[in-house]
């Protein structure tokens, strides 16, 4: 979603999620003091965050990357498939490749904990205006990553496809109709810029090799 999520001029609804109660308390106080924002809720877990934003309108979610028990990456992935989900700002220690991982997962911004509180607030304002904020990263390059464009269902489809399953077997494996399989495959091929199953499978394994290389280099995942 590229357009502004706060065109009405009303305070921006924010939900915080962090397993550290001290961080939650400090951030809550900061948000409460700023008239640009309205603190909707807080949570110590990813599941608590997800349960709330599915019931209550929230524009911006500020989350820790290591939220119990789903974790930040999985939480963002689930949100990507939800209508009217909040845009997510990952607020965490800037270690290793974390900003890029947050971007690839589908977050709208990354704000390092080492920065001033005002930096986080300005990041939330930018995200509410439809911007993406990732210090030291080339956002355009990351957005061009085909994997970043896949929905959760399409990622599941690609992984199942890599096993060499036929359309009938895919339908049985994923509990969907053959026509739905064909629909998802068509979208998948288009997003990956491939023409057939063999090319899609080759793409999948080349991506896995790149991931394993990164893990071998000690980059956190």
Both 179 and 195 in one domain: the answer is yes
33-51 burial, b if ≥16 CB within 10 A, otherwise e?
Answer: ebeebebbbbbbbbbbbbe
Answer positive or negative: Cα dihedral of 211, 216, 217, 218. Answer: positive
Whether residue 97 contacts residue 218, with contact meaning beta carbons closer than 8 Å, is answered with: no
pLDDT digits (tens, 9 = 90+) for 149-162: 677 778 888 888 88
Both 95 and 120 in one domain: the answer is yes
CATH for 86: 3.40.50.2300
Both 88 and 116 in one domain: the answer is yes
Q: What is the pTM of this model?
A: 0.61
3-state secondary structure (DSSP) of residue 166 = coil
What total number of domains does the chain contain?
Answer: 2
The label of the residue with tokens 């930040």 reads 72
Both 168 and 184 in one domain: the answer is yes
Whether residue 46 contacts residue 19, with contact meaning beta carbons closer than 8 Å, is answered with: no
Q: Backbone phi, then psi, for 30, in 5-degree steps?
A: -65, -45
CATH for 165: 1.10.10.10
Both 173 and 70 in one domain: the answer is no
Q: What whole-number distance in Å separates Cα of residue 200 and Cα of residue 180?
A: 18
Both 119 and 153 in one domain: the answer is no
Q: Is residue 5, in this structure, part of any structural domain at all?
A: no
Which of the listed residues 118, 143, 168 is the one where a domain comes to its end?
Answer: 143
Residue 65: how many CB atoms within 10 A of its CB? 22
Q: Is residue 3, in this structure, part of any structural domain at all?
A: no
**Domain containing residue 36:** 12-143
Q: What is the predicted pLDDT for the residue at 208?
A: 63
Under the banding of pLDDT at 50, 70 and 90, the label for residue 4 is very low
pLDDT at 7 over 60: no
Both 188 and 97 in one domain: the answer is no
Whether residue 167 contacts residue 139, with contact meaning beta carbons closer than 8 Å, is answered with: no
| Residue 3 DSSP symbol | S
Which of the listed residues 116, 143, 170 is the one where a domain comes to its end?
Answer: 143
Whether residue 133 contacts residue 108, with contact meaning beta carbons closer than 8 Å, is answered with: yes
Which of the listed residues 143, 164, 197 is the one where a domain comes to its end?
Answer: 143
Q: Is residue 7, in this structure, part of any structural domain at all?
A: no
Both 56 and 126 in one domain: the answer is yes
Q: What is the predicted pLDDT for the residue at 220?
A: 42
Both 54 and 118 in one domain: the answer is yes
Both 24 and 102 in one domain: the answer is yes
Both 179 and 161 in one domain: the answer is yes
Query: Percentage of the chain with pLDDT > 70?
Result: 83
Both 57 and 127 in one domain: the answer is yes
What average pLDDT is seen over the chain?
81
pLDDT digits (tens, 9 = 90+) for 160-194: 888 888 889 888 888 888 888 888 888 888 888 88
Q: What is the predicted pLDDT for the residue at 198?
A: 82
Per DSSP, helices labelled H in the chain are 21-33, 46-53, 72-80, 98-105, 117-128, 139-143, 152-161, 167-174, 178-192, 197-216
Q: How far is CA 207 from CA 132, 148, 169, 216, in A?
A: 24, 12, 24, 14
């Amino acid at each position: 979603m590229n357009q502004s999520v706060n065109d009405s001029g009303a305070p921006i609804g924010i939900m915080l999620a962090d397993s550290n109660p001290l961080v939650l308390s400090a951030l809550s106080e900061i948000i409460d003091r700023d008239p640009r924002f309205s603190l909707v809720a807080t949570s110590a877990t990813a599941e608590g965050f997800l349960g709330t934003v599915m019931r209550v309108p929230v524009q911006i979610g500020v989350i820790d990357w290591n939220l119990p028990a789903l974790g930040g990456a999985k939480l963002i992935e689930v949100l990507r498939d939800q209508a009217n989900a909040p845009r997510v700002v990952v607020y965490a220690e800037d270690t290793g490749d974390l900003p890029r991982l947050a971007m690839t997962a589908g977050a709208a911004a990354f704000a390092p904990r080492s920065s001033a509180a005002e930096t986080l607030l300005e990041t939330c304002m930018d995200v509410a205006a439809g911007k993406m904020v990732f210090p030291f990263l080339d956002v355009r390059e990351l957005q061009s990553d085909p994997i970043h464009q896949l929905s959760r269902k399409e990622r599941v489809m690609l992984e199942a496809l890599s096993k060499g399953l036929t359309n009938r077997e895919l339908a049985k494996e994923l509990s969907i109709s053959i026509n739905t399989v064909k629909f998802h495959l068509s979208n998948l091929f288009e997003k990956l810029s491939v023409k057939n199953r063999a090319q899609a499978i080759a793409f999948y394994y080349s991506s896995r090799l790149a991931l394993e290389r990164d893990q071998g280099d000690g980059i956190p995942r």
